[in-house]
Amino acid sequence: MVLEQIAQRDISDARVLEAMQKIPRHFFVPDEMKKMAHDDNPLPIGHEQTISQPYMVAAMTTLLTRLIPDGSKVLEIGSGSGYQTAILVHMGYEVHSIELLPELLEQSKKVLQELDLMPTSMTCGDGHLGIKEKAPYDGIIAAACAKKLPKAWKQQLAEDGVIVAPISTITGQHLFKWQKQQGKLSKERVMAVRFVPLVRN
C-alpha cells in the first residue's frame, strides 16, 4: 500500500511513510472490510462514518507535520477509527483527539490500547468546540468537513501553528491549510476532497 499507492505519488516525507508502513490499517476497519484495508480507498466503519483513504491520511499528515516541531501538541478533530491518531502518536506527537460518537471512540480506544498507541487524551464531544482546556495547539487536523472554519479552532491554535482541514465551499469540499503568524491566519487551498460532514451534538 505504502510503496505502490503513496510513495510513488507526491508523498516523500520519510517519517510519514515509515509510520504508515508500521501501522496495520486492517486493525482499524470492520472484519468484513479487512480484505480491502490496504486499498487506496476510504472504507465504512459504521455509524455512517469512514476511515480516510490512505493517500489522504499521508497527504494531510505531511501538510501538518512538516510545519510543526517534533513532539508538538496536536488536536485531532473527528478521530473516528483511530487510524490517523495512531499515525501521529507513532510519529511522536502529543495528540489530543475528540470524537462525537461514543461508540467509535470506545472502539478506537480498544485498538489503540492493543497497539500501545494511545494518545495523550481522548474526548467524546463536538469537534467544532475543540478542547479548550488542553489548548493551545501547535497543530489541528480534521477528518470531517465543516461548513466554515470553527472559531474555537482559531482561538485554540498557538502562534506559528497550523490547521489542516476540509471545508465546504460553493464549488464543493476543499482541503485547506492555515498558518497563524502574528495572530493572523493565512489560508492555502490544497485540493478538492470528499469527507463526511462535521456534525454537531
> Is 186 among the catalytic positions?
no
Residue positions counted in the chain: 201
Strands 137-142 and 73-77: parallel
Buried/exposed 116-139: b ≥16 CB within 10 Å, e otherwise: ebbbeebbeebbbbbbeebbebbb
- Which of helix, strand or coil describes residue 3? helix
d(C-alpha 57, C-alpha 54), whole Å: 5
- Measured between alpha carbons, how far is 120 from 182 in angstroms, rounded to an integer? 28
Q: How far apart are CA 145 and CA 195, in angstroms?
A: 6
Spatial separation of the C-alpha atoms in residues 77 and 9, rounded to whole Å: 26
Catalytic annotation, pick one of 12, 52, 79, 168:
52
DSSP 132: G
Pairing of the two strands 172-181 and 157-169: antiparallel
Which of the residues are catalytic?
52
